[in-house]
Amino acid sequence: MTYRAVIFDMDGVLADSEPAFFDAVNLTLESTGKQVAWDAYQRLLGTSVEVTWTEVLKMLALPIEIDAYLPRFNEVLLDCLRQPRAPLPGVIAVIDELDRRNVPFAVATSSIRPWFDAVMESVGLTGRFAVSVTADMIQHPKPAPEIYLRAAELLGVPPFTCIAVEDTIPGVASAKAAAMYAIHVMASSTALPPIRESDRVIETLLEFPFQLVGKV
Protein backbone atom coordinates (compact mmCIF):
# COMPACT_ATOMS: atom_id res chain seq x y z
CA MET A 1 0.00 0.00 0.00
CA THR A 2 0.94 3.64 -0.27
CA TYR A 3 1.46 5.44 3.03
CA ARG A 4 0.44 9.04 3.56
CA ALA A 5 2.64 10.29 6.42
CA VAL A 6 5.87 9.55 8.29
CA ILE A 7 6.37 9.74 12.05
CA PHE A 8 9.88 9.66 13.48
CA ASP A 9 11.11 8.77 16.92
CA MET A 10 13.81 11.24 17.97
CA ASP A 11 16.59 9.78 20.13
CA GLY A 12 18.53 7.24 18.09
CA VAL A 13 16.59 8.07 14.89
CA LEU A 14 17.10 11.78 14.23
CA ALA A 15 20.01 12.31 16.62
CA ASP A 16 22.55 10.07 18.33
CA SER A 17 21.32 11.36 21.69
CA GLU A 18 20.73 8.12 23.62
CA PRO A 19 24.28 8.22 25.11
CA ALA A 20 23.39 11.56 26.72
CA PHE A 21 20.65 9.84 28.73
CA PHE A 22 23.02 7.10 29.87
CA ASP A 23 25.68 9.64 30.85
CA ALA A 24 23.11 11.75 32.72
CA VAL A 25 21.88 8.74 34.71
CA ASN A 26 25.39 7.94 35.92
CA LEU A 27 26.23 11.57 36.65
CA THR A 28 23.06 11.77 38.72
CA LEU A 29 24.04 8.59 40.57
CA GLU A 30 27.50 9.88 41.56
CA SER A 31 26.36 10.80 45.06
CA THR A 32 25.32 7.18 45.70
CA GLY A 33 28.73 5.79 44.82
CA LYS A 34 27.11 3.44 42.31
CA GLN A 35 26.98 3.34 38.53
CA VAL A 36 24.90 1.38 36.04
CA ALA A 37 26.74 -0.52 33.30
CA TRP A 38 25.91 0.05 29.65
CA ASP A 39 25.08 -3.63 29.09
CA ALA A 40 22.44 -3.44 31.83
CA TYR A 41 21.14 -0.04 30.75
CA GLN A 42 20.78 -0.94 27.08
CA ARG A 43 17.52 -2.82 27.54
CA LEU A 44 15.95 0.41 28.86
CA LEU A 45 16.41 2.29 25.58
CA GLY A 46 13.10 3.72 24.45
CA THR A 47 11.37 3.48 27.82
CA SER A 48 9.90 6.36 29.80
CA VAL A 49 11.97 8.19 32.41
CA GLU A 50 9.85 6.64 35.17
CA VAL A 51 10.49 3.11 33.90
CA THR A 52 14.17 3.84 33.36
CA TRP A 53 14.73 5.13 36.88
CA THR A 54 12.63 2.42 38.51
CA GLU A 55 14.68 -0.26 36.76
CA VAL A 56 18.03 1.47 37.39
CA LEU A 57 17.32 1.77 41.10
CA LYS A 58 16.28 -1.88 41.23
CA MET A 59 19.49 -2.94 39.45
CA LEU A 60 21.61 -1.05 41.96
CA ALA A 61 19.56 -2.14 44.99
CA LEU A 62 18.77 1.47 45.85
CA PRO A 63 15.46 2.65 47.37
CA ILE A 64 12.87 3.23 44.65
CA GLU A 65 12.57 6.94 45.34
CA ILE A 66 12.48 8.33 41.82
CA ASP A 67 11.58 11.88 42.85
CA ALA A 68 14.86 12.10 44.78
CA TYR A 69 16.77 11.82 41.49
CA LEU A 70 14.62 13.50 38.85
CA PRO A 71 15.45 17.21 39.51
CA ARG A 72 19.20 16.55 39.32
CA PHE A 73 18.75 14.20 36.36
CA ASN A 74 16.80 16.78 34.38
CA GLU A 75 19.43 19.45 35.05
CA VAL A 76 22.34 17.21 34.04
CA LEU A 77 20.50 15.76 31.06
CA LEU A 78 19.66 19.14 29.58
CA ASP A 79 23.36 20.05 29.70
CA CYS A 80 24.23 16.79 27.94
CA LEU A 81 21.51 17.16 25.31
CA ARG A 82 22.51 20.72 24.45
CA GLN A 83 25.94 19.61 23.28
CA PRO A 84 26.16 20.18 19.49
CA ARG A 85 25.86 17.02 17.39
CA ALA A 86 25.15 16.27 13.76
CA PRO A 87 21.85 14.75 12.69
CA LEU A 88 22.14 11.05 11.93
CA PRO A 89 22.87 10.13 8.29
CA GLY A 90 20.05 10.81 5.90
CA VAL A 91 17.87 12.80 8.30
CA ILE A 92 18.07 16.13 6.44
CA ALA A 93 17.73 14.46 3.04
CA VAL A 94 14.61 12.54 4.10
CA ILE A 95 12.73 15.45 5.63
CA ASP A 96 13.70 17.68 2.69
CA GLU A 97 12.32 15.08 0.27
CA LEU A 98 9.14 14.63 2.30
CA ASP A 99 8.69 18.40 2.17
CA ARG A 100 9.23 18.37 -1.59
CA ARG A 101 6.59 15.65 -1.99
CA ASN A 102 4.16 17.42 0.36
CA VAL A 103 4.09 14.36 2.60
CA PRO A 104 3.33 15.32 6.22
CA PHE A 105 5.73 14.16 8.92
CA ALA A 106 6.04 14.40 12.69
CA VAL A 107 8.06 13.38 15.73
CA ALA A 108 6.74 11.06 18.45
CA THR A 109 9.29 10.90 21.24
CA SER A 110 9.51 9.51 24.76
CA SER A 111 11.41 12.67 25.69
CA ILE A 112 9.55 15.54 27.38
CA ARG A 113 9.25 18.92 25.65
CA PRO A 114 12.38 20.59 27.15
CA TRP A 115 14.49 17.58 26.12
CA PHE A 116 12.95 17.61 22.64
CA ASP A 117 13.72 21.32 22.26
CA ALA A 118 17.32 20.79 23.43
CA VAL A 119 17.95 17.96 20.95
CA MET A 120 16.36 19.83 18.06
CA GLU A 121 18.59 22.81 18.77
CA SER A 122 21.69 20.65 19.17
CA VAL A 123 21.27 19.11 15.69
CA GLY A 124 19.99 22.22 13.93
CA LEU A 125 16.46 20.93 13.38
CA THR A 126 14.53 23.54 15.35
CA GLY A 127 11.37 24.42 13.45
CA ARG A 128 11.58 21.56 10.94
CA PHE A 129 8.73 19.56 12.51
CA ALA A 130 5.35 21.26 12.48
CA VAL A 131 3.94 18.39 14.54
CA SER A 132 5.72 16.87 17.53
CA VAL A 133 4.31 14.74 20.32
CA THR A 134 6.35 14.48 23.51
CA ALA A 135 5.98 12.31 26.57
CA ASP A 136 4.37 15.07 28.61
CA MET A 137 1.47 15.21 26.12
CA ILE A 138 0.25 11.66 26.75
CA GLN A 139 -0.70 9.39 29.65
CA HIS A 140 0.57 6.02 28.42
CA PRO A 141 4.16 5.93 27.08
CA LYS A 142 5.68 3.51 24.59
CA PRO A 143 5.13 0.56 24.11
CA ALA A 144 1.50 1.73 24.37
CA PRO A 145 0.26 3.14 21.03
CA GLU A 146 -1.02 6.46 22.43
CA ILE A 147 1.89 8.64 21.30
CA TYR A 148 1.69 7.42 17.71
CA LEU A 149 -2.08 7.67 17.62
CA ARG A 150 -1.83 11.25 18.87
CA ALA A 151 0.77 12.11 16.21
CA ALA A 152 -1.45 10.68 13.44
CA GLU A 153 -4.40 12.65 14.81
CA LEU A 154 -2.42 15.90 14.72
CA LEU A 155 -1.26 15.14 11.18
CA GLY A 156 -4.87 14.51 10.17
CA VAL A 157 -4.31 11.02 8.76
CA PRO A 158 -5.48 7.54 9.82
CA PRO A 159 -2.83 5.68 11.84
CA PHE A 160 -2.72 2.73 9.45
CA THR A 161 -1.60 5.08 6.66
CA CYS A 162 1.56 6.10 8.57
CA ILE A 163 5.13 4.89 8.49
CA ALA A 164 6.86 4.99 11.88
CA VAL A 165 10.65 5.13 12.10
CA GLU A 166 12.06 3.67 15.31
CA ASP A 167 15.23 2.29 16.89
CA THR A 168 14.03 0.46 20.00
CA ILE A 169 11.84 -2.50 20.90
CA PRO A 170 9.29 -0.41 22.88
CA GLY A 171 9.14 2.05 20.01
CA VAL A 172 8.48 -0.60 17.37
CA ALA A 173 5.87 -2.19 19.64
CA SER A 174 4.17 1.19 20.06
CA ALA A 175 4.06 1.79 16.32
CA LYS A 176 2.74 -1.71 15.56
CA ALA A 177 0.08 -1.37 18.27
CA ALA A 178 -1.04 1.79 16.45
CA ALA A 179 -1.35 -0.25 13.22
CA MET A 180 1.54 1.57 11.54
CA TYR A 181 4.25 0.28 9.19
CA ALA A 182 7.35 0.16 11.41
CA ILE A 183 10.86 0.74 10.10
CA HIS A 184 13.81 -0.04 12.37
CA VAL A 185 16.78 2.21 11.60
CA MET A 186 20.19 1.16 12.93
CA ALA A 187 22.24 4.33 12.43
CA SER A 188 22.99 5.36 16.01
CA SER A 189 25.88 4.35 18.24
CA THR A 190 23.32 2.58 20.45
CA ALA A 191 21.73 0.61 17.60
CA LEU A 192 20.14 -2.71 18.51
CA PRO A 193 20.27 -5.84 16.35
CA PRO A 194 17.41 -6.03 13.82
CA ILE A 195 14.07 -5.95 15.63
CA ARG A 196 12.09 -8.87 14.25
CA GLU A 197 8.72 -7.22 14.95
CA SER A 198 9.56 -4.36 12.56
CA ASP A 199 8.32 -4.41 8.96
CA ARG A 200 11.64 -3.30 7.52
CA VAL A 201 15.19 -2.78 8.79
CA ILE A 202 17.51 -0.16 7.30
CA GLU A 203 21.05 0.85 8.21
CA THR A 204 20.46 4.61 7.89
CA LEU A 205 17.75 6.95 6.67
CA LEU A 206 19.68 7.19 3.41
CA GLU A 207 17.88 3.89 2.67
CA PHE A 208 14.40 5.27 3.41
CA PRO A 209 11.88 3.50 1.11
CA PHE A 210 10.29 6.47 -0.67
CA GLN A 211 8.47 4.06 -2.96
CA LEU A 212 6.08 3.42 -0.04
CA VAL A 213 5.15 7.08 0.35
CA GLY A 214 2.49 8.84 -1.70
CA LYS A 215 1.10 12.33 -1.70
CA VAL A 216 -1.80 13.27 0.56
Residue 86: other Cβ atoms inside 10 A? 12
Examine the domain organization and report whether 93 and 200 are in the same domain: yes
Alpha helices in the chain (DSSP H): 18-28, 38-41, 49-59, 70-81, 91-100, 113-122, 146-155, 169-177
Examine the domain organization and report whether 93 and 50 are in the same domain: no
Examine the domain organization and report whether 123 and 194 are in the same domain: yes
Distance separating alpha carbons of residues 186 and 162, to the nearest angstrom? 20
106-158 pLDDT, tens digit per residue, is: 999 999 999 999 999 999 999 999 999 999 999 999 999 999 999 999 999 99
Examine the domain organization and report whether 9 and 53 are in the same domain: no
Examine the domain organization and report whether 134 and 44 are in the same domain: no
23-30 long-range contacts, CB within 8 A, separation 24+: 23/80, 24/73, 24/76, 24/77, 24/80, 25/52, 25/53, 25/56, 25/73, 27/76, 27/80, 28/69, 28/72, 28/73, 28/76, 29/56, 29/60, 29/69
**Which ranges of the chain have pLDDT less than 50?**
216
Query: Which of 41, 62, 81 marks a domain boundary?
Result: 81
Examine the domain organization and report whether 198 and 117 are in the same domain: yes
- The reply to whether 9 belongs to the active site is yes
Distance separating alpha carbons of residues 182 and 199, to the nearest angstrom? 5
Examine the domain organization and report whether 11 and 53 are in the same domain: no
Residue 134 C-beta-side C-alpha neighbours within 13 Å: 14
pLDDT of residue 216: 42
Distance separating alpha carbons of residues 183 and 200, to the nearest angstrom? 5
Query: Which of 66, 81, 96 marks a domain boundary?
Result: 81
Examine the domain organization and report whether 143 and 208 are in the same domain: yes
Spot the catalytic one: 9, 39, 96, 167.
9
pLDDT of residue 215: 52
pLDDT of residue 47: 87
Buried-state track 100-121, b at ≥16 Cβ within 10 A, e below 16: eeebbbbbbbbbbeebbbbbbe
Examine the domain organization and report whether 98 and 152 are in the same domain: yes
Q: Which of 160, 55, 161, 163 is nearest to 108 (CA)?
A: 163
Examine the domain organization and report whether 34 and 71 are in the same domain: yes
- Respond yes or no on whether the N-terminal peptide bond of residue 143 is cis (omega within 30° of 0): yes
Terminal Cα distance for the chain, rounded: 13
What is the count of structural domains for the chain? 2
Is residue 176 within 8 Å of 197, Cβ to Cβ? yes
Residue 34 belongs to domain spanning: 18-81
Query: Which of 81, 96, 112 marks a domain boundary?
Result: 81
Examine the domain organization and report whether 65 and 143 are in the same domain: no
> What is the side-by-side order of every strand in the sheet holding 131-133?
131-133, 105-108, 5-8, 162-166, 181-185, 200-202
- The reply to whether 11 belongs to the active site is yes
Examine the domain organization and report whether 58 and 138 are in the same domain: no
